[in-house]
A and B are shown apart, each in its own frame.
Chain A
Amino acid sequence: MIWRIDVFSKAEVPSRGLISQIRDLGLKGDFKVFCRKVYFVEGENSQAEIKTIAESLLIDSVTEKYTCQKGLFPEKPDSSEIIITYNPGVSDPVALSFEKAIRDLNLQVKNTKIARLYKFDGLAPDQIKNISIQLLYNPLIEHILEYGKAAHIESLDEFLGQKYQFELVSIDILNAGDERLKDISNDGCLSLSLEEMRIIKEYFAKHKRNPTDCELETIATLWSEHCGHKTFRGLIDYEEKNKAGETIKKTSINNLLKSTVMKATSEINSSNCVSVFHDNSGVVEFDKDFNICFKVETHNHPSSLEPYGGASTGIGGVIRDILGTGQAAKPFASVDVFCFSPWHIAYDDLPIGLLHPKRVIKGVIGGVRDYGNRMGIPTVAGAVLFDERFLGNPLVYCGTLGLIPKKKSFKKVDKGDLVFVCGAKTGRDGIHGATFSSKELDEKTVFLTSAVQIGNAIEEKKLTEAILRARDLNLFNAITDCGAGGLSSAVTELAGEHGVRVSLEKVPLKYSGLSYTEIWISESQERMVFFAKKGNLKKLQQIFEEEDVELTVIGEVTSTNKLELFYQDNKVCELDMSFVLDLPKLKKKASWLIEKEEEVYVADKTNYSEDLKALLSSPNIACKDWVLRQYDHEVQAGSALKSIYGIENLSVSDAAVVRPDLKSDKCVAISCGINPFYSDIDPYWMSALAMDEALRNIVCVGGSLKNTYILDNFCWGSPQDERALGGLVRAAYAAYDFSTYFGVPFISGKDSLYNEYSVEDKKISIPGTLLISGFSVLDDWEKIISANLKNEGNFLYIVGFTKPQMAASAYFRQLKIKDGFIPRVDKLIAKKIFEKLSDAINKELVLSCHDLSEGGLAVAIAEMCIGSNLGANIFLEAVPQDKDMHNYEILFSESPTRFIVEIAKDKKEKFEKELKGLPFSLIGCVSKEKKLVMYASEKEEIINVNLSDLRDAWTKTFEEFR
């Protein structure tokens, strides 16, 4: 029997938020929407039991009431209502909690299912249908319970899987010609090229048999772009030409990653690097007891299809990377960077198959918020950028840092170790996620329904607690996460040097009906794999039981160098480890055309106040406190400098600073550098500038280069496109050049390719985007400094040299000017500036410091004023600059490696001595008058704006998201 319980607020107020979203769709008139929760319970339960369940679990007796009835629908369903529920196979965390609470009550039910009900007043059925699809549900994971189809459902089992009968499937590739091989790859969604299919065919020909489906899927997963990074690790023929068509550089690259990013790290050879480009995250030294690890992942493709689920599983995944580092690290901070499309596009103008950017923005931020907050890991910093080309393909970067005891920083795997899977049960979620992200998105993508899933943060939180307890009792010796490829990549990679035997029927399932292959490649979230000695089994079970986390032995490490899988004693896979883990190297072509930059000038103005306000309110610069405040950025109590803060005034910091260990005074500054706009001109300088920005931000708060480490995350278009790949090569070259120049090593990285989308045969590719994430270990939290102005009368200096480098600047983009000179990092002075300024800050000569980035000098000083409620007087003539610069260039140029610093009068001499020999100068002072005044010359005032106007400009842009 199925019972239905509807829960709703006693006041039953219409949902204001939803109504305003519906108005955005263009619907007018007087209408209302009400929301309810609907719980279905199946079992042999009496009405009294259902009443107990409703009253003790489902309602807040002060504010809510309920109704209950038998069956899914009432006798006469109301056509003004729609009920939305998850698709079969999508795991619902709330249902799991619900079932746990029912068990607490000592009651038994067979199944539960949870749904949302929307009741509309004043809208026609076709309007309701349109609203539902645009705003209320995502058919990839949810559906509308329709009376016609669902009224006669008698058991909720109908939402679950069918029974599974074992049958070994083998695929005939031995007799397949090239066309057939291609079909096998395409039909099976394997994303393997013909060349790779031929190599596989050859392997099995040697073994005189055809592969099973499971073997083919295992190879496809481990060889996928997502797991194997075959572009970065493959062969690239690269050619650079000038405008006249002459070749100026031609080279063959064998493994772009090893020859640029990793090469820089090995040349720098820092003794603080503990484990780099090797484990699930990069590990460096923190203090005598602990190391720090950091990983940044992307989750772009899933987030474009289901923003909330994609982003939440993105952050869930990177947290597991930290848990799966060494013998498990404790996550202590997260950083999230997003690139979205501007949100003012009309619904009617959206290409078919795309979600509206507003929905993407809210969904992605909501996903990170709900997952990170529930995990109790503070999301402390990030960035949000906007460009039209992210419409079909938003970028979602999720990063997490962890703290790990030194002696737990490496894994050990021995023959005879038991293989454990722990955490969530396995379902059909996310099958083909790894191979799917190695393809471009197209309109067909919507049929890949199982590639998308939602996260269950509490499951991962429980898993974290259990794993860290087991780690501290030395109960396991190696651990890794189930990410892309699920068990297939986790188990294979961890046991790769030995061999492993796994019995797939032992893996706990969410529901029946999964084949052995589905179990093996499922990407169900919140699962980890670890290896432990047999003798520790009992203690492990005790801990996991208390923490209420599933734990199962599924196999054993062997010494056969083979991957052997069984299902109910039937062998379903036997592959040589050396074959699956040795990716074939495929050759790709890359080219780049060096274009000469054109000088371009715009008319001078006598006043730039309006231009400054326009820049402050542009989405890329405007204040994003509404994002940070949705994140619990203070949990774990280590917050030492928040990236945005202030009760009445709003201040921004260049980097967030966190104490990962409350017993130590040491702290970690975390920053990022990203500016895809430069990529349009030259990805080489885009890459160098991203690094400069990440390092500037570290220096601003008191960090120094020598304890700083960086991570690379390349998000690019299709590597099949020669020019796109050429840009990627250039960006990687710059990463090498400037990492070695600054002496700041890369410790980890990741690439996400195929970020493009086709609509009606037109391809939209994202601008090549490199995120550089940086972090620095600081010895003493007391020495960090913030960016807002401190006291009237203090001196303001600019450090660094200003050039007319306006190309792709926020100012020129606002004016829609495409030409100009791109900023370049100056290798003659950049490193010295960083070092000397760090020294000055460390000697406590500097009261506040802010870097010059988007919007240049004018925006930087405006932000320092806004944060403090103090004004400033600035004289442009004093700025160290190129000859004959225009005022708008001095104000808005984005030349890198520049800072504004505030110095107390009595520290003037010491500070100037510290920076001697470098470009810097006194450009003004802090004033008690609440306005920013900038002078071109002594009598020529070109900016004069009240603080309140600056603040309004900076804070009003995202009004509809607040």
Chain B
Amino acid sequence: MKPKVLIIRTAGTNCDKETEYAFRLAGAETQLLHINHIKNEGNLSEYKIIAVPGGFSYGDDLGAGKILALELMLWFKDELKNFIDKGSLIIGICNGFQVLVKTGILPDLDFKQKATLTFNDSARFEDRWVYLRKPEIGEQKPENIWLKELPEIINLPVAHGEGKFYAEKDILDKIENNGQVVLRYTDSCGKSASYPLNPNGSLNDIAGITDITGKIFGLMPHPERFMFEHQWPSWKERVLEPFGLQIFKNGVEYFK
């Protein structure tokens, strides 16, 4: 049976349709709903996966993802708790990652904001492709649900103005020790590198994290922008497997 995926959108969400498309390509049944609709007649328990896609929810006017995060907390906190407790999956991409961090769902599932994604060191929006490295085998503790079958170094694009992962040292140490950092910006060999390879100045080159169970995944890069080979900029020189699509497949496969 195809797992059902809910893609949440609101004013300013703009990667919703392609995120839905990627989940469909990956074999899911999908529903793309406005948060006002979910508030009035939705039921989160119908779904196996929730995706919070990229964009500029409410223009990021009071900070990236801020108002959508507030609404999720005000309107769906208990439902989300139940959803998570049942072992369902959540993926937050770009603006969705910002939302997950600002609700406090990531890193600790306790609805308290402990980390943030703040303004890029370059102080502006940038869209560029980056190298990303998964933890080495053994380095990583939670079950790596979302990144299975992928090589150690992959390429995806980032496109954001507020993507610098930042947290106080104790929080940072904790998520590092727990192995919650699952994607880092690197050079082509997997080594730590400065701008533009780390495009925003993220601490510890963090591009994506999960919760302690590995089920809730937030990342700044856009996997839905690498579901076809032609999305990779240099595909006329060298064809790569669409790494992004694999991420969606992993989510769907988890329920098969």
Contact = CB atoms under 8 A, between A and B. Distances in A.
Interface string B109-136: 0000111101000011111111100000
Contact of B128 (A636, A647, A782, A868): A647
Contacts of A104: 67, 70-71, 74
Given A634-B231, A788-B237, A647 B70 contact: no
Interface stretch (A174-182, A196-204, A455-463, A853-861): A455-463
B236 interface: yes
B62 A62 contact: no
A94 interface: yes
Contacts of A552: none
Interface stretch (B8-16, B78-86, B174-182, B208-216): B8-16
B15 A101 contact: no
A640 B230 contact: yes
B59 A637 contact: no
A701 to B, nearest CB: 10
B159 A547 contact: no
Contacts of B56: 373-374, 457-458
Interface stretch (B44-52, B138-146, B220-228, B247-255): B220-228
Interface stretch (A223-231, A423-431, A624-632, A679-687): A624-632
A376 B55 contact: yes
A93 B36 contact: no
Given A98-B62, A374-B59, A633 B127 contact: yes
B61 A56 contact: no
B34 A94 contact: no
Contacts of A300: none
Given A62-B167, A376-B15, A646 B234 contact: yes
A94 B59 contact: yes
Given A61-B113, A662-B21, A458 B118 contact: no
Given A61-B113, A105-B74, A647 B129 contact: yes
A432 interface: no
B62 A97 contact: yes
B166 A637 contact: no
A101 B125 contact: no
A457 to B, nearest CB: 7
Nearest to A547: B34
Interface string A868-903: 100000000000000000000000000000000000
The B interface, classified by DSSP as helix, strand, loop or mixed, is mixed
A375 interface: yes
Interface in B159-191: 159, 166-168, 188
A414 to B, nearest CB: 31
Contact of B224 (A458, A637, A868): A637
B17 interface: yes
B168 A634 contact: no
Contact of A631 (B74, B127, B130, B228): B127
A135 to B, nearest CB: 15
Interface in A638-683: 639-642, 645-648, 651, 659, 662
Contacts of B126: 629-630
Contact of A632 (B74, B127, B234): B127
A634 B127 contact: yes
B58 interface: yes
Interface in B12-28: 12-15, 17-18, 21-22
A105 B13 CA distance: 21
B37 interface: yes
Interface string A284-303: 00000000000000000000
Nearest to B196: A647
A96 B59 CA distance: 10
Contact of A634 (B22, B70, B157, B166): B157
Interface string A86-100: 000000011011101
A101 B58 contact: yes
Nearest to B11: A462
Contacts of A639: 225, 230-231
A61 B131 CA distance: 30
Interface string A170-199: 000000000000000000000000000000
Contacts of A376: 13-15, 55
Given A546-B34, A546-B37, A458 B58 contact: yes
Given A62-B168, A662-B21, A637 B225 contact: yes
Contacts of B37: 546
Contacts of A640: 230-231
A94 B61 contact: yes
Contacts of B87: none
B21 to A, nearest CB: 6
Interface in A505-551: 546-548
A62 B61 contact: no
B59 A647 contact: no
Contacts of B15: 376, 635, 637
Contact of A62 (B70, B115, B125, B129): B115
A786 interface: yes
A807 B4 CA distance: 64
A862 B61 CA distance: 43
A374 B58 CA distance: 9
B198 to A, nearest CB: 12
Contact of B59 (A62, A63, A97, A369): A97
A630 B127 CA distance: 6
B21 A630 contact: no
Nearest to A962: B122
Contacts of A62: 113-116, 118, 166-168
A93 B11 CA distance: 13
A401 interface: no
Given A60-B63, A93-B59, A637-B227, A632 B236 contact: no
B128 A629 contact: yes
A17 interface: yes
Contacts of B228: 637, 662
Contacts of A572: none
A647 B232 CA distance: 11
Nearest to B104: A61
Interface in A686-732: none
Nearest to B12: A458
Contact of B127 (A61, A97, A546, A629): A629
A544 B145 CA distance: 39
B231 A457 contact: no
B104 to A, nearest CB: 10
A60 B67 contact: no
A645 B14 contact: no
Nearest to B222: A634
A848 B67 CA distance: 47
Contacts of B71: 104
Contacts of A642: 233
B61 A98 contact: yes
A628 B40 CA distance: 40
A101 B62 contact: yes
Given A60-B116, A547-B34, A637-B227, A461 B12 contact: yes
B66 A57 contact: yes
Interface in A573-609: none
A58 interface: yes
A97 B67 contact: yes
Given A458-B12, A629-B127, A640-B230, 11 more contacts: A56-B70, A58-B62, A101-B70, A373-B56, A374-B56, A548-B36, A632-B159, A635-B225, A636-B18, A648-B188, A790-B237
3 closest A-B pairs by CB: A376-B14, A645-B233, A97-B61
19 contacts: A17-B123, A60-B118, A63-B116, A63-B118, A93-B61, A96-B61, A101-B67, A462-B11, A631-B127, A633-B127, A635-B18, A635-B54, A635-B225, A637-B15, A639-B231, A641-B230, A647-B155, A790-B236, A868-B237
Interface of A: 17, 56-58, 60-63, 93-94, 96-98, 100-101, 104-105, 369-370, 373-376, 456-458, 461-462, 546-548, 628-637, 639-642, 645-648, 651, 659, 662, 781-782, 784-786, 788, 790, 848, 868
